């Protein structure tokens, strides 16, 4: 039996063993580190420390998107849709580092930061059909005060899909919330046919989707169930779009199964639709909704959240990201010098392309102390002091 209690970013787990002994895991902090081997441009990442806030910067093609994409790979692995993901992304030849001639395995390792030092490992190999199949999938558990690891085989190998989701042991149960949250949020499509501008199913509000397609329904849920969080979203929008007064969110009068994102402008009674919002305002609504919801995902991953935002809105966005990192782990990639300026060097991971592979270097306030007395972090990036110069 598993009982869990969620409190901000900390988790407490109580397990009942087969002997009836209570096992208590406290102060669970999330992901401690990740290692990636032979995924796209990442030949061997080494151990990358994952902090509450992680900002990836680097030039185009360095490998930021591949690092971000690996979390989506893990999510599809967990959801048992990995072979579909592999087929849709060029099969093994396009996913392995320099293809099958350059790599014979794809591997990953996640270490979770708690007193039990939980770990998840997998290895995959290409088969004759250019699929990737599991050769190994296991977890390690080091009890408090012990030096040796207790290794547990999740599957015997030869599987096309992971067995994490089907494994009911206590050591894999705690992985579920993390793997479910490994989704990459991007709100880039603001075209006329954008899913964010279309009506939502009025009851589709259990979780906010990674492309924002249920924005209206999810905001309606916040309005009805978490009005204080809903008001925070409205205030953020009002601060970056002074003409915006409030949302008008009700199931459609003619078709109550649908709900539209409607809003009012200050001084007017007329209702406007999402098509009347600027691209930057619509993206900021999505970002504020994601980051201000009462129950945050364990990990929030956002690809270039600054796209199309006004410099003032970027400052607001940075504040939202920092606040959310107190309750969840945040991983973002960015090309914005202005956004980088809002964070500390300790938050930043520089991604470089060296000798044909992606290299990850976490920065440090202490190491850059002298430089930061005269320059901002963004200026150091532009001057290539941090490497990974923006383009």
pLDDT, tens digit, 9 for 90 and up, residues 66-80: 999 999 999 999 999
Q: In percent, how much of the chain has pLDDT > 70?
A: 91
The residues, ordered by sequence, that sit 6+ positions from 373 with a Cβ below 8 Å of its Cβ are: none
Yes or no: say if 118 and 141 are a contact pair by the CB < 8 Å rule.
Answer: yes
Q: What angle do CA 62, 212, 240 make, to 5 degrees?
A: 85
Mean pLDDT, to the nearest integer, of 226-233? 98
Class of domain 2-183+337-382: alpha beta
Q: At what angle do helices 227-240 and 311-324 cross, to 10 degrees?
A: 150
Mean pLDDT, to the nearest integer, of 21-36? 64
Q: What angle do CA 206, 207, 208 make, to 5 degrees?
A: 135
Beta bridge pairs of residue 229: none
Yes or no: say if 247 and 262 are a contact pair by the CB < 8 Å rule.
Answer: yes
pLDDT category, 20, cuts 50, 70, 90? very low
- DSSP code of residue 163: S
The torsion region of residue 90 among left (phi > 0), alpha (psi -120 to 50) and beta comes to left
Q: Which helix (H) or strand (E) holds 2?
A: strand 2-7
Q: How many angstroms separate the first and last alpha carbons of the chain?
A: 52
* 106 closest CA partner among 76, 129, 131, 81: 131
- DSSP code of residue 199: P
For the chain, where do the domains classified as CATH 3.40.50.300 start and end?
2-183+337-382
Distance CA 349, CA 337 (A): 14
Q: 292-319, pLDDT tens digit by residue?
A: 999 999 999 999 999 999 999 999 999 9
pLDDT category, 181, cuts 50, 70, 90? very high
Mean pLDDT, to the nearest integer, of 238-262? 97
DSSP string, 303-322: E-TTTT--HHHHHHHHHHHH
The residues, ordered by sequence, that sit 6+ positions from 344 with a Cβ below 8 Å of its Cβ are: 365, 377
Strands 10-16, 2-7: pairing is antiparallel
């Amino acid at each position: 039996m598993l009982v869990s209690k969620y409190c901000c970013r900390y988790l407490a787990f109580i397990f009942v063993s087969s002997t009836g002994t209570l096992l208590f895991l406290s102060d669970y902090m999330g992901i401690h580190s990740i290692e990636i081997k032979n995924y796209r441009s990442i030949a061997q990442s080494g151990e990358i420390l994952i902090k509450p806030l992680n900002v990836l910067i680097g030039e185009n093609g360095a490998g930021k998107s591949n690092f971000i994409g690996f979390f989506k790979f893990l999510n599809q692995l967990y959801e048992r849709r990995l072979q579909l993901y592999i087929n849709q992304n060029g099969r093994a030849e396009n996913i392995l580092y320099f293809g099958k001639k350059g790599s014979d395995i794809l591997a990953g390792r996640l270490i979770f930061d708690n007193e039990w030092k939980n770990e998840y490992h997998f290895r995959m190999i290409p088969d004759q059909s250019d699929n990737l199949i599991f050769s190994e999938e296991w977890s390690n558990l080091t009890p408090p005060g012990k030096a040796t690891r207790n290794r547990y085989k999740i599957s015997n190998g030869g599987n096309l899909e992971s067995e994490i989701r089907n494994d009911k042991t206590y050591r894999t149960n705690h992985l579920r919330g993390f793997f479910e949250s490994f989704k990459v949020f991007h709100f880039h499509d603001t075209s006329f046919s954008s899913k964010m501008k279309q009506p939502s199913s009025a009851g589709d509000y259990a979780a906010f989707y990674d492309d924002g397609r249920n924005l209206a329904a999810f905001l309606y849920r916040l309005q009805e169930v978490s009005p204080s969080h809903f008001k925070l979203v409205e205030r953020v929008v009002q601060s970056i779009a002074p003409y915006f007064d409030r949302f008008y969110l009700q199931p459609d009068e003619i078709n109550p199964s649908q709900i539209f994102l409607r809003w009012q402008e200050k001084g007017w009674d007329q209702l406007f639709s999402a098509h009347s919002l600027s691209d930057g305002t619509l993206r900021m609504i999505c970002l504020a909704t994601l980051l201000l919801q009462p129950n945050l995902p364990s990990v929030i991953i956002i690809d270039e959240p600054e796209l199309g935002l006004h410099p003032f809105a970027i400052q607001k966005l940075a504040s939202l990201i920092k606040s959310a990192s107190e309750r969840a782990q945040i991983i973002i990639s960015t090309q914005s010098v202005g956004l980088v300026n809002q964070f500390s060097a300790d938050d930043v991971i520089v991604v470089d392309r060296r000798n044909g592979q992606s290299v990850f270097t976490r920065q440090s306030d202490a190491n850059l102390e002298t430089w930061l007395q005269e320059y901002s972090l963004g200026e150091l990036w532009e001057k290539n002091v941090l490497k990974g110069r923006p383009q």
